[in-house]
Amino acid sequence: MLMNRLARKNPTHILLTLLVLSCASGCGRQEGKPGGAVQYYELKGLVMALEPSRNRVVIAHAEIPHFMKAMTMSFTVKDTSLLQGIEVGDSVRGVLEVRRPDVWLDSLTVVGNMTSPKKLIKNSSHSSPGVIREA
């Protein structure tokens, strides 16, 4: 009965109140929020460029099973000391830490020197499964 009286007096007020309440009820949804489970993936690749001032390294990497196809891309490092001793042309192995939507290199080690990313991609079929551990 109270709702009927209010609706007759000011229907816009009722609609606005319902809209605000429905928007507020959706604010606690978990979808798309960062900070989920952390996953770690092994990375094998060839260093194409170093960008220490931007905390980044460009790597032509082999397929990362269950995560990413082989490609050349820039990776973030949280600690630029990971880039010390790394040079363009180095063959590297590392661990990607993934906490969606963020991805960064957790470790990076020189394992040799390669001259062609094609050689790396051809050898990627011998790699182990992509997820090496979950936290």
Per residue in 50-109, pLDDT tens?
999 999 999 999 999 999 999 999 999 988 899 999 999 999 999 999 998 999 999 999
Confirm or reject CATH 3.40.50.150 for domain 39-134, answering yes or no.
no
Q: What is the pTM of this model?
A: 0.60
Measure the CA–CA gap between 27 and 20, rounded to whole angstroms.
Answer: 11
Long-range Cβ contact pairs of 124-128 (< 8 A, separation 24 or more): 124/44, 124/62, 124/63, 124/70, 127/42, 127/44, 127/62, 127/63, 127/65, 128/42, 128/65
